[in-house]
Structure 1
Amino acid sequence: MTEHVPYVVVGAGAMGLATTWQLARRGHRVLALERFARGHSHGASHGATRNFNNAYTAAHYLDLLALARAEWDELSRTTGEPLLRLHGLLTHGDDAVVAQVHDALVARGERAEVLGAVEAARRWSGMRFGGDVLFTPDAGVVRAAAALDALEVGARRHGADVRYGQRVVALEERGDGVSLTIDDGERRYDVVADTAVVTSGAWTPGILPPSFPLPRLTVTEESPAHFSPVSPDARWPSFNHLVARGTYPGPTYGMPTPGEGVKVGFHHVGPVVDPDHRTFRPVPELAAALHDYVAEWFPGLEPDSAEPISCTYTSTDSEDFVLDRRGRIVVGAGFSGHGFKFTPAVGSVLADLATDDTARAAEAFWIR
């Protein structure tokens, strides 16, 4: 028997659960389908923390960030689960970028302060700095694992049907809706939805019809690591370090993760992979470079204490997101390693696109 639903969301990681929550809280009946088990580590949504990083200059990201902050707060209120830990963010390594981000944030009424390297090292003794440092106190981390739980709880409270272990093996738009065939491991069944939202991360290209005009998405396996602090009493902010090109593989980012240490990683330097055939191990050369980087720039961390993490980036060529609609199919994809902080705002935008075929996201997110 074929099930009929108004809205189906394919992929129930962070973005899919956020879309499901946003649709359900607006009173819509929605079915969310996730190929893997709850809490899996195959994609990009697992782990305890993600940077809540506000160091942007582009208006479309700052607009999305403002919406995300409001929606994180709303989700926290409705579930009673605090999801943001705002211990501040440091951005350094390029004085020109530091100045540009400072000016963009101040122009919008955000708190931002530029410090010299000596003053920054005095405040955060576990880190080293070589130039101007931007401190934004209203940034920090998203408690990522808790956020996924809160989104699912919130969605279910509003009547959403969230199913795990449900692999979509066919998706086709036709005159009366979007037809999906799903394999749950024991049987195959069909669903027809008025509108489908595809938020399947690295698996998005394989789910959409071949004719769908999706831009190129490149999947890489990234390997940040947690490092142990030298002193358990040290203060740790989140951070972006715009490392000079050629000295290390790429810029770095990081944040404290209670119980696990301080997360440090290179941004977007990992090898291209098939998401179904990953090693879940760091590239030795990149792991060695990360060790050397921590030894040079973090006097407050033990460089030999690395506990590697494996995750994927699914990136567009521009590293801008894809938030758009064609026909009855809405797509959220290409979050390029910097999407998690925006999760509930992305869900809101995708819900707008799903419920109003005249709605548009910011132009930077359109399919070209």
Structure 2
Amino acid sequence: MTPRSTPRRILVARLDSDGDVLLAGPAIRAAAASGEVVLLCGHAGAQAAGLLPGVSRVVRWDCPWIVTPAPPVREPDIDGIVALLKGVRADVALILTSFHQSPLPLALLLRLAGVPRIVARSTDYPGSLLDVRLRDDPSVPEAERALGVARAAGFELPPGDDGRLSVVPPPESPVPAPYVVVHPGASVPARAWSPDRCAEAVRALCAAGHRVVVTGGPKETALTAYVAGEDAVDLGGRTTFAELAGVLAAADAVVVGNTGPAHLAVAVGTPVVSLFAPVVPAERWAPHGRHVLLGDQDAPCAGSRARECPVPGHPCLDRVEPSEVVAAVAELVGVRT
């Protein structure tokens, strides 16, 4: 295939979690405007992959240099993923990575699988592994950064697509509106507000006249029960990812840390009170939509990418007062994107 020919099948790789996959949505839609999109993602991102417009097929693979904890690299597994990628028969591949990840190991596998054109950002010299290499690493929202890779491959959003995050229409919420959602969990512990602070915020929101719904995954039921207490509706462990999208879509606002449901809320048009720990930069990872950012962005943990809080007392988030959350919710209620 020559660079100017029209691709029939485009492989888009985003190997992280649900939130990362949601942020790849605009790039995927740009690619889908020109051909069939096959999305390569890990099992941790598969729920989000099933909600993205423009995806024709999802291929799941837990990449050993991306997932945590990392599985061993074994020759039979590598042979298997190369064979699987060869079977996709992609005309072009877009490798979407975070700023701290290299696309080159996956590019090597794609070359072995016979993919004729590969596009990615890489600060390292790629040799013959990439056909189009973006050298710059702009400090822009992650969704825009990914869209830049698609554009470098020659793909543009279709007319009328504003580049916002988007998902297919979710199911109707089981809880009657109006309400505010508090989502206390996070995939990385350093990015979560403490359970005590979350519970205090729930009580403060209820005292301010809001009905509150607390959400969480199947492994977070003890956390959501504690945070909901006697004042809020506890939906912890009771929704699929698609059903969670419906709950978030009907909310007036969502109070959440830097984790997948923050991006899911944006994708359904709901404003976010973002309790954002600065272990990664907010300019890249804050919700890509209407939000209020809370948390000390100059805390000692800033830029550390720590999974466990390295500072006693978790001051970047736990110094946020429940009253600040109530004020932020009041600012956002009635403002949708």
Shared fold by TM > 0.5? no
- Considering fraction of residues, name the structure with more strand: 1
